[in-house]
Amino acid sequence: MLRIRNLSLPVDGTVDDLKKAAARALGVKPGALEQLVIARQSIDARKKQDVRWIYTVDVTLPNQRQIKLQPGKIEVWSPVSYEFPQKKRTSSLPPVVVGMGPAGLFAALYLARNGLPCVVLERGQDVDTRTRDVERFWETGILNPASNVQFGEGGAGTFSDGKLTTGTHDPRISAVLDTFVSAGAPEDVRWSHKPHIGTDVLRTVVKNLRLELLRLGCEVRFGHRLTGLEHTGDRLTGLRAEGPAGAYSMACDALVLAPGHSARDTFQMLQAAGVPLESKAFAVGVRIEHLQREISRAQYGPSWETLPPSDYKLACHLPNGRSVFSFCVCPGGRVVAAASQPGELVTNGMSCRARDGASCNGGLLVTVGPADFAGKDSLAGVRFQQQWERAAFQAGGGNFCAPAQLAGDFINNNPSRGPEGVLPSYRPGVNWTDLSGCLPDFVLDSLRGALPLLNRKVRGFAAPDSVLTGVETRSSSPVRIVRDGETLQSALAGLYPCGEGAGYAGGIVSAAVDGIRAAEAVAGGK
């Protein structure tokens, strides 16, 4: 097999055009190609008058050895498939996985695929029940603390854009993407430069993954929350949980803990149990919402209507030493209520597979760290989140309505009285106000300073009618559950913290990869 890089096609290029381009690069006729598989697709929009698709493809042909190779352009390619290591675990107890976000799902899946079916505990509900609970919350403002955007089958990512981008390079990534495709994700997530599933498709995908767990002999318990750990010395011997029938205990010597970044009661339980935790940096800010057509036009120029809705990736460094950056951009999406506790308001972004909404939204965030938190204990970041989520709840007027302000008014320190060109998509609704008091002054000042600078990079990003909706505080976990770098175990042997909530991942794919690593560690133990 040969890999050909940097094949350029116009935006209206077809598969036949791609085959012709590949054949031309090899110096053969298109009919000589036995097989062509897209390995990578991206958009080159540096020249707005000539936007191009850029492809990397893998081809097979009968006389491959006669092809002149070009380093970096045409190379021999041999795919490397991921292989789970040999199972060594001999314990008669089934492993237990807590949490059914990507880390927990993939940990359970790879354990079960390799002869170790497990018991899976998820405090939330199955994805269908959860979807109904979330829709009811968005419609009425009535929150179910155990079944919401943060808790339930698929984790917080289920109600997002379903982005599969990652900055990591790991052989397990291809296994993750293959698993998603086999469970119903679109084929293009394997090769798109910015792959995404979409919240509508992702709900089916996570359900199919759960059905595979059941076929492999796993026991999945919804509505079951981890409440305590039992141990002898420094070794885990059991756990305590609470389910629909009440509290119970079960023997356990291998617990994969994938709690998600909003499991604050779990962090408190771990701290009380003496499990080492540490406070870590994360980011806070607002959701900014603009017209999708303006963002796409700014990014792509005249050809914007023929291309998928554009996103952006922006950052700037300010004289105050702070950095402001975009996060989790959702083209054609909407801003969603993502609270998990009464009286605390937090936002997120979500989009469907088609990304066909009128608006584009993204997090506009400022990094915060332990030096910014009151107190020096491991849960100081959690209290920092809660402080500003409560302030936002009050500013929104209650019932989980969100405080909102037009970008132009925010920059000029004027309260807003209503929308202009951009209609806020947030449900249950917004309260037009002044965002002052919803975030620390240094965050507000940083956002005000950054907006004009970022607008120079993407025209329309900070248009006066763009909507700022507060607050976004859960960009990542405020806590890291300390683990050994080799065994992936906590100081409490048998406890394997993993995923975004444990502080070791930053998105769906990296969390899934970390879940597989935890499964490998469990399978390689006793």
187-222 residue pLDDT tens = 999 999 999 999 999 999 999 999 999 999 999 999
SS3 249: strand
pLDDT at 231: 97
Residue 88 lies in a domain: no
Residue 410 lies in a domain: yes
Asked whether residue 439 falls in the same domain as residue 501, the answer is no
Asked whether residue 30 falls in the same domain as residue 170, the answer is no
Average pLDDT over residues 359-366: 98
pLDDT at 42: 96
Q: What is the number of structural domains in the chain?
A: 3
The pTM of this model reads 0.96
Residue 434 lies in a domain: yes
Average pLDDT over residues 334-359: 97
100-159 residue pLDDT tens = 999 999 999 999 999 999 999 999 999 999 999 999 999 999 999 999 999 999 999 999
Asked whether residue 28 falls in the same domain as residue 159, the answer is no
Domain boundary among 76, 108, 137: 76
pLDDT at residue 72 above 80? yes
pLDDT grade, residue 166 (50/70/90)? confident
Asked whether residue 240 falls in the same domain as residue 298, the answer is no
Asked whether residue 290 falls in the same domain as residue 265, the answer is no
432-486 residue pLDDT tens = 999 999 999 999 999 999 999 999 999 999 999 999 999 999 999 999 999 999 9
Asked whether residue 441 falls in the same domain as residue 300, the answer is yes
Asked whether residue 34 falls in the same domain as residue 116, the answer is no
Residue type, 239: L
pLDDT at residue 16 above 90? yes
CA distance 408 to 72: 47
Asked whether residue 365 falls in the same domain as residue 223, the answer is no
Nearest by Cα to 298 from 283, 309, 282, 284:
309
Residue 209 lies in a domain: yes
pLDDT at residue 496 above 80? yes
Pick from 47-56, 162-171, 208-217: least confident: 162-171
Average pLDDT over residues 418-436: 97
Residue 124 lies in a domain: yes
Average pLDDT, the chain: 96
Specify the residue for token string 């006669």.
66
Other beta carbons within 10 angstroms of residue 317's beta carbon come to: 12
Read off the CATH number of the domain in which 58 is found.
3.30.70.2700
Asked whether residue 232 falls in the same domain as residue 288, the answer is no
pLDDT grade, residue 64 (50/70/90)? confident
DSSP 354-411: T--SSEEEEEEEEEE-GGGSSS-STTHHHHHHHHHHHHHHHHTTSTTPEEEEEHHHHH
CB 332 within 8 A of CB 366: no
pLDDT at 63: 84
pLDDT grade, residue 65 (50/70/90)? confident
Instruction: Give me the percent of the chain exceeding a pLDDT of 90.
Output: 96
363-384 residue pLDDT tens = 999 999 999 999 989 999 999 9
Residue 90 lies in a domain: no
Domain boundary among 76, 108, 141: 76
pLDDT at 374: 93
Sign of CA dihedral 498, 503, 507, 510: negative
220-238 residue pLDDT tens = 999 999 999 999 999 999 9
Residue 436 lies in a domain: yes
pLDDT at 66: 86
Asked whether residue 336 falls in the same domain as residue 410, the answer is yes
Range of the domain at 495: 96-276+480-523
pLDDT at 132: 97
pLDDT grade, residue 169 (50/70/90)? confident
pLDDT at residue 81 above 90? no
Read off the CATH number of the domain in which 235 is found.
3.50.50.60
Average pLDDT over residues 313-336: 96
CA distance 501 to 483: 13
SS3 175: helix
Residue 384 lies in a domain: yes
pLDDT at 146: 94
Asked whether residue 434 falls in the same domain as residue 411, the answer is yes
Asked whether residue 451 falls in the same domain as residue 500, the answer is no
Q: Two tokens at 332?
A: 């054609």
Domain boundary among 76, 109, 140: 76
